[in-house]
Amino acid sequence: MVTATTEGVKISVEATYQKEFSNPSLHHYVFTYKVTIKNCNPFTIQLLRRKWEIHDAAETVKLVEGEGVVGQQPVLEPGNVHTYLSGCTIRSGMGKMMGEFYVEKLNDGKLLTVTIPEFQLIANIFNN
pLDDT digits (tens, 9 = 90+) for 65-120: 999 998 899 999 999 999 999 999 999 999 999 999 999 999 999 999 999 999 99
Q: Cβ neighbours of residue 12 under 8 Å, at least 6 residues apart?
A: 1, 2, 3, 35, 36, 38
Which domains does the chain show, CATH number per domain? 2-118 (2.60.40.1470)
> What's the number of CA atoms in the CB half-sphere (13 Å) around residue 108?
5
Q: Is the pLDDT of residue 128 over 50?
A: no
- Average pLDDT on 35-55 reads 98
Residue 63 has pLDDT above 50, yes or no: yes
Residue 59 has pLDDT above 90, yes or no: no
pLDDT of amino acid 124 = 82
CA distances from residue 89 to 13, 27, 46, 110, 123 in whole angstroms, order as listed = 17, 10, 28, 34, 11
Between the CA atoms of 57, 61, 67 and 71, what dihedral angle is there, to the nearest 10 degrees?
-20
pTM of the model: 0.92
